[in-house]
Amino acid sequence: MKRGQLISLSFVLLCCTSPPASPPATTSDPAPAVFHWPVTVADAEAFVAEAEEQLATQWFETGRASWVAANFITQDTRGIAADSQAELVALNQQLAAESDAFANLELPEDVRRKLRILKASLSMAAPQDSELQRELSEITTEMEATYATGRHCRPDGECLDLTAMDRRMAESRDPNELLDLWVGWREVSPPMRGQYQRFVAIANLGAMDLGFTDLGELWRSDYDMEPDAFTAEVERLWKQVEPLYEALHCHVRARLAEHYGPDQVSLDEPIPAHLLGNMWSQTWGNVYELVGPAESDPGYDLTGILRDQGVDARGMVRFGEGFFSSLGFAPLPETFWQRSLFTQPRDRDVVCHASAWDIDGLDDLRIKMCIQITGEDFFTVHHELGHNYYQRAYNQQPPLFQGSAHDGFHEGVGDTIALSITPEYLVQVGLLDELPPSDADLGLLMKMALDKVAFLAFGLLVDQWRWQVFSGAIDPADYNASWWELRERYQGIQPPVARDESSFDPGAKFHIPANVPYTRYFLAYILQFQFQRALCEIAGYEGPLHRCSIYGSQVAGERLNDMLELGRSKPWPDALEALTGQREMDASALIEYFAPLSAWLEEQNTGRSCGW
């Protein structure tokens, strides 16, 4: 459970609770604090200390309940999780409201920062009305359960869960099957549409109770800058990477048109969303063999290597732990191996979405993931452990400082570790016998870009949609149309069949029903390259950035740990400076990383009509 995300219930990648079948017994509201006026600095310090104690206790209880609900999806576990979440919502909301009593005091910086975090870290704000708090909790748990238990039943009677559909989307090249899978999964989300509209209305009331105009403004206030300034900062970063994204899009569209024909892919229109090897078209690595450089092979198949060597799910995690051990980090606690979920059970539904958990703010670290023996999941395991090691590094901080400098840091740290899964690293750990020739670099860069660069547009637009929904700029009657307008504008993607407002395609993406802010991933995809460049320099590496692995560099590990231990005790520019020497997020390291590929794409796109 990720500390500092007060009522997101942590989960780094998710918050997973499930709804009761009928309304559970009403829990009593927390007793409001009694202040004697005028309040003093000592009052504020005492309030913060008591708030942290209460929150730490409730985080622990809610984390355990949510873990059980995500791993044993039943009416009872949904009810227990909903009860616990409702108590946490009420406590969060009360403490955030009471913190206003100290707004006009001159306070020590750490106290002032903790009071701000009490408000700004809420990913879901609930009104002070206990009935609305209960309704909000039930709506969110219901939406998550609908998503987690979704199935698509085909005409032949075969029913597929999302894991199975994901696998087929990655492997199939039959446009009819891909269309069936794409449409089939989106049959799961229409029941959420009315629930989501009601969720927005209630959550906005909660944000307004805290002094924000809407929930989106509350989210954007948690970045040590004004909300409008943060919006501009995100756009600035996008403009740095947009030319590279457009060059990749142009090449991928041309190659897909060659494979599928002009009746499926037009060279002057957005790419049909079902042909990119991923249920949401958010990453494109699964179509590498259709769009990669014809003259350049990556030199190895990591999925094949893992399977040939008999690596199992637990073995995948051991490789990840070994990476951190090589940097000087202590091994994971034994309870991690006893309590984590590594494989999908055969006897029950679980929420398979990969996530890292910190249950107690001390050492009860876990991951929950239905690990597949694939190269993609090998990277994901390293990423998830990045969260766990970050969680452990800041566990000496006070509870309100147990979190990342901003949410993009948490995701970025995990991804930085995954960037070091280079051929050099695979040789060092015995998964490769020898390094592929350097002329394979172009293929490796293309595979990386199809995931990292292709993701940037999607990572940006999810919250662009939500911010406008929360503000009222997008009317409920236009939920679906606006979603696809943004997907076309940023991604150059279009639906393969007509979509109307009877659908709710945003709800087919986990983070919408689970109410997990998404801009963190966009920021992480920028920061990971900035982190990596700095760590490679610290490790003394000389050479192309894309060939660098920090595996085995304890000096790099020490510098990384220095940043991790800060948690969120300092503004994020301070944390960034501690690792990189820079105080501004910067995409130039990403551009440097992909420079050889960028030059190749420019050659390939000569004479093509790019854009959409």
Q: Model confidence at 189, in pLDDT bands (50, 70, 90)?
A: very high
Span 1-13, pLDDT tens digits? 443 333 333 333 3
The CA distance from 346 to 445, in Å, is: 37
Residue 117: DSSP 8-state: H
| Residue 274: active-site member | no
The answer to whether the beta carbons of residues 432 and 426 sit under 8 Å apart is: yes
| Residue 521: active-site member | yes
Q: What is the mean pLDDT of residues 329-347?
A: 95
Q: Model confidence at 349, in pLDDT bands (50, 70, 90)?
A: confident
SS (H, E, C) 423-470: HHHHHHCCCCCCCCCHHHHHHHHHHHHHHHHHHHHHHHHHHHHHHHHH
Q: Which residues are paired to 152 by β-bridges?
A: 160
| Residue 406: active-site member | no
The CA distance from 491 to 611, in Å, is: 10
SS (H, E, C) 528-543: HHHHHHHHHHHCCCCC
Report the 10 Å Cβ neighbour count for 314. 12
Catalytic residue from among 274, 383, 410, 546: 383
Span 538-558, pLDDT tens digits? 999 999 999 999 999 999 999
- Classify 77 as helix, strand or coil: helix
Candidates 510, 463, 407, 526; CA nearest to 121 is 407
End-to-end CA distance of the chain: 41
pLDDT at residue 134, rounded to an integer: 86
Q: What is the mean pLDDT of residues 436-460?
A: 91
Residues 6+ apart with CB under 8 A from 280: 273, 458, 508, 509
The CA distance from 34 to 373, in Å, is: 56
pLDDT at position 17 over 50: no
Domain boundaries along the sequence of the chain: 41-147+191-222, 229-299+447-508, 302-435+519-581
Catalytic residue from among 521, 541, 551, 593: 521
pLDDT at residue 7, rounded to an integer: 35
pLDDT at position 25 over 70: no
pLDDT at residue 30, rounded to an integer: 53
Catalytic residue from among 152, 251, 274, 387: 387
The CA distance from 59 to 49, in Å, is: 15
Catalytic residue from among 86, 384, 394, 406: 384
Backbone angles phi, psi at 365, to 5 degrees: -95, 145
Catalytic residue from among 152, 410, 511, 546: 511
The CA distance from 518 to 407, in Å, is: 9
Residues 6+ apart with CB under 8 A from 451: 283, 284, 285
pLDDT at residue 14, rounded to an integer: 32
pLDDT at residue 34, rounded to an integer: 57
Query: Following CA atoms 89, 90, 96, 102 in sequence, which dihedral angle do they give, to the nearest 10 degrees?
Result: -160
* pTM confidence score: 0.88
Q: What is the mean pLDDT of residues 133-149?
A: 90
Element containing residue 358 per DSSP (H, E): strand 355-358
Structure tokens at 105: 């005091």
Report the 10 Å Cβ neighbour count for 155. 6
Residues 6+ apart with CB under 8 A from 273: 182, 280, 281, 487, 493, 494, 495, 496
- Classify 589 as helix, strand or coil: helix
Report the 10 Å Cβ neighbour count for 599. 10
Cα four-point dihedral sign 500, 474, 457, 352: negative
Burial of 200 (0-12, 13-18, 19+ CB in 10 A): buried
Span 248-285, pLDDT tens digits? 999 999 999 999 999 999 999 999 999 999 999 999 99
Candidates 159, 42, 54; CA nearest to 105 is 42
Share of the chain above pLDDT 70, in %: 94
Q: Model confidence at 472, in pLDDT bands (50, 70, 90)?
A: very high
Identify which has the larger pLDDT, 9 or 59: 59
- Classify 329 as helix, strand or coil: coil
| Residue 251: active-site member | no
Span 142-161, pLDDT tens digits? 998 899 899 999 888 899 99
Span 563-610, pLDDT tens digits? 999 999 999 999 999 999 999 999 999 999 999 999 999 999 999 999
pLDDT at position 15 over 50: no
- Classify 262 as helix, strand or coil: coil
Span 372-402, pLDDT tens digits? 999 989 999 999 999 999 999 999 999 999 9
Catalytic residue from among 120, 354, 418, 457: 354
**What is the overall mean pLDDT for the chain?**
91
pLDDT at residue 155, rounded to an integer: 83
Report the 10 Å Cβ neighbour count for 307. 12
Catalytic residue from among 87, 142, 321, 411: 411
Structure tokens at 399: 């509870």
Residue 355: DSSP 8-state: E
pLDDT at residue 20, rounded to an integer: 26
The CA distance from 309 to 301, in Å, is: 12
